[in-house]
Structure 1
């Protein structure tokens, strides 16, 4: 996606006044050292712990198995290697111990945050791959899965620091399930509460959130959203422990009461798409990072209790020779109780940099002669969150709330995957402030409307995600006849014949189709066999059902595309029609 502008600036909004400020640090020496952002010697920023006692950052890199300790300005002081799969980090309340989850070592390691020397190790067993950490209720909590490639069901557990006893969560009596290692969330205002969020792509459990009271000897489920209509990519608990803030795929930021994590409503402007990270300061301020590359906001800061940003930042392009687009935000982290926001961005050369943003003070501005200011107009885009069949043509409508006409807006379409964003329409809105554009959907697509601003109005953006199914068809062959059983049409096969099934599905690199076979048993259909079959580049796959075929047994089969499970995430989960068949002598 092209960046429309690349200025290392931010807009601060105090009341109705807008002031441009530079992204920077809190002191001149740090600003000089940062220059174009502090280049970090990591392949990925997996997690970050902020040591306010020593004013240091602790950064894990799960790809290389190393932990990096830097100054607030990003100067590397110590690097510890040989931490296989190091991911989640948690710093004790007294800043005396850093806990790190090492997935490939099946252990949690305790480190001295100043020297990074190991001070303890908690072994979890050869089948446990810990990846996320949190401190709550006097215990260290860890989220884990059961394989090196995140391919199995996840869970969480904990251990007592003093005794070292490890306990694994038992969900047999609950309606909870997690796929891969769940994200663990806590808040200073609720020290006895642990929020567990499934951030996987699993079509069944992805997006589920469970809340536990961990103040006692054993965790106790207090709230649950075991089935969710939307994935969760990241989430955070507000400082008072009362609300959950999160996002899934596309544009919306949502909030929900911790006591009712399923009651999600849109919030926090919702005018910028592709959020990538959320963090809440101990005083209630909120930072949201966005994975944008089109000139829109990369980091937005919100005062405590407000859902309107008072600062918005953009990152520059640190690799112009590689791609004509700016850096993207991978993670935002507050300095607990402070006003620094540590922003970790990356460019198209896969280089990670630290940008230190100076968050706003929580004070009321003094009265002064009002400057000439611009106001931000309302800008909406509809429809949003729809689910359409492959090849559907959808018309979107942008509405600009500016009172005057003759204002130009742009409507962009950005299909999921590697396709570049394309401009659908750029022209003046009509007398009602509306502009429409049509597009044919072949992939789930983020649509954005952009108003560049003018002398009277500030720039504005709005977005919507249009979910798109794949085209899927399943055809069986080798039957000797077709006839109805009741009202349902069945294919009849001799029990010595192996049915042959051909699936045609919208192609995509490395895509697989899932075949789901069910057998009639006890008056109900029960899953009998599930398998994933790769598609050819033309979107074809074939499967022969071998083995013994008992005469009289009734079966049905359908082909499906499952987001993530089928090898990619560019379309919405799609199930084809059932094909029914049976065998005779």
Structure 2
């Protein structure tokens, strides 16, 4: 017997793990074809072959591409509006609270660019100093903060007084970081800056920046090599993604006590938090799932999303919410070629998980009974059914009991040695569709 199960939505189908208990070579090939055909996602190929960060506001999605010295701006359907060029080594980005301006770190120009988000043109450029190579950005305390190369061996955090007519730049007089730290802030705590080590064991720090200078108020050594960092809208928590932990860590602010973890598997590389607190936690290589979605206060994902197709992995800092949480974006890269933007617009629908139980082998000429269960973290409607196909032909429709269980019996045709049964739940207003498959070997 071999089983497959999947849960999919309108914008993107989520393909679950395949467990092969018995399959002939021909069947193994058919299984791979079936998985690829069952995916349904809105994907857009972008005109860049590099990526540093994906960010979204209420109108656009922004993808910084250091290899092309540019930022690609699309609408929420993935249509490219404009590629802003001439942005030397474009890396970290951040938006003003009113979304009027986008700031982009330009390490190859030792500068930060200000982009008007209406015209999508560069309006100002702030020089940060020779060989500073700024990388990550955040707005807090009325200043634009940036991580940069302070010395040959150390990195620091500087700031720009962007509100001034002649903006001043302040650099770090006591750099304590090995790699340029990831930076994050939140409108719920406008005078607080959170920083996490990107290339070593310098930990994570919280700064009070109300005075215009960064005053450290909390520290933890509980994180290393952080790939991405996000702060909740109310400023009460921070979430880190780093590949070495195999889970996303959540920290209380401002004291940096570890609150909980999201068991996402290998290797955490992206995180984004919607305004209502819904968490999208991304990983690079966790089997079939790339993004795990968690409702506020929960640590079990109510939705899992697969972006993988062939050799395409979710990119570091490659997950972004629309501010109101209505859509989620993921960026991936096929190892060669252009970056792909995936759009998930039914992200608040829950998974429909189907598990099937069937005998590994079954006697020829005897009816076979297959049982299953339909489950989700969100309750299903009272009346629900699953449909069954055998070897791609319609077989029956089965009512699902209140506890989610169901079963059906079939007598395979005489010529069938490996009948495959595919069970599908069509989805509903609160759930994406679900699918599972099982193959039984008929023996004489």
Using structure 1 for the length normalisation, give the TM-score.
Answer: 0.52
Partner of 2:241: 247
CA distance in structure 1 between the aligned counterparts of 2:313 and 2:402, rounded to whole angstroms: 29
5 Å-filtered alignment, 1:221-236, equals 221-225=216-220, 227-228=221-222, 230-236=224-230
- Match 2:382 to one of 364, 368, 371: 368
Is the 1:255–1:265 contact (alpha carbons within 8 Å) kept by the matching residues of 2? Answer: yes
Q: Deviations over 1:145-167 (max 9, x none)?
A: 148xxx63111111112221111
Partner of 1:526: none
Q: How many residues align?
A: 333
- Match 1:304 to one of 296, 317, 321: 296
1:244 CA drift (Å):
2.2
Is the 1:272–1:297 contact (alpha carbons within 8 Å) kept by the matching residues of 2? Answer: no
CA distance in structure 2 between the aligned counterparts of 1:374 and 1:292, rounded to whole angstroms: 33
Partner of 1:152: 153
Q: Deviations over 1:489-517 (max 9, x none)?
A: xxxxxxxxxxxxxxxxxxxxxxxxxxxxx
CA distance in structure 1 between the aligned counterparts of 2:98 and 2:194, rounded to whole angstroms: 23
Q: Deviations over 1:534-569 (max 9, x none)?
A: xxxxxxxxxxxxxxxxxxxxxxxxxxxxxxxxxxxx
- Match 1:285 to one of 278, 295, 319: 278
Partner of 1:275: 268
CA distance in structure 1 between the aligned counterparts of 2:401 and 2:330, rounded to whole angstroms: 31
Q: 1:253 to 1:82 in 2, by over 3 A?
A: same
Partner of 1:184: 183
- Match 2:171 to one of 156, 168, 171: 168
Q: 1:373 to 1:50 in 2, by over 3 A?
A: farther
5 Å-filtered alignment, 1:313-462, equals 313-317=305-309, 325-330=310-315, 331-358=318-345, 359-360=347-348, 368-369=382-383, 371-372=400-401
Q: Deviations over 1:334-375 (max 9, x none)?
A: 11123100111222335321111122169x868634744889
1:326 CA drift (Å):
4.8
Partner of 2:193: 194
Q: 1:91 to 1:233 in 2, by over 3 A?
A: closer
1:287 CA drift (Å):
0.2
Is the 1:243–1:256 contact (alpha carbons within 8 Å) kept by the matching residues of 2? Answer: yes
1:212 corresponds to 2:207: yes
CA distance in structure 1 between the aligned counterparts of 2:289 and 2:402, rounded to whole angstroms: 20
Partner of 2:252: 257
Larger CA Rg, structure 1 vs 2: 1
5 Å-filtered alignment, 1:444-483, equals none
CA distance in structure 2 between the aligned counterparts of 1:229 and 1:98, rounded to whole angstroms: 29
Partner of 1:46: 52
CA distance in structure 2 between the aligned counterparts of 1:70 and 1:304, rounded to whole angstroms: 29
Is the 1:232–1:246 contact (alpha carbons within 8 Å) kept by the matching residues of 2? Answer: yes
1:237 corresponds to 2:225: no
Structure 1: runs of 5 or more not aligned: 11-19, 26-33, 318-324, 376-451, 456-585
- Structure possessing the higher relative contact order (Cα contacts under 8 Å, 6 or more residues apart): 2
CA distance in structure 2 between the aligned counterparts of 1:316 and 1:258, rounded to whole angstroms: 34
Is the 1:188–1:282 contact (alpha carbons within 8 Å) kept by the matching residues of 2? Answer: no
1:21 corresponds to 2:24: no
1:314 CA drift (Å):
1.2
Secondary structure of 1:236's aligned partner:
strand
Partner of 2:19: none
CA distance in structure 1 between the aligned counterparts of 2:403 and 2:282, rounded to whole angstroms: 24
Is the 2:264–2:286 contact (alpha carbons within 8 Å) kept by the matching residues of 1? Answer: no
Secondary structure of 1:63's aligned partner:
helix
Q: 1:297 to 1:102 in 2, by over 3 A?
A: same
CA distance in structure 2 between the aligned counterparts of 1:264 and 1:133, rounded to whole angstroms: 24
Secondary structure of 2:108's aligned partner:
helix
Is the 1:234–1:278 contact (alpha carbons within 8 Å) kept by the matching residues of 2? Answer: yes
Q: 1:247 to 1:86 in 2, by over 3 A?
A: closer
CA distance in structure 2 between the aligned counterparts of 1:45 and 1:352, rounded to whole angstroms: 7
CA distance in structure 1 between the aligned counterparts of 2:9 and 2:55, rounded to whole angstroms: 27
1:98 CA drift (Å):
1.5
Secondary structure of 1:298's aligned partner:
strand
Structure 2: runs of 5 or more not aligned: 14-39, 351-377, 385-399, 405-434, 439-444
Q: Deviations over 1:192-232 (max 9, x none)?
A: 110011111x3x53xx111011122322211012x447443
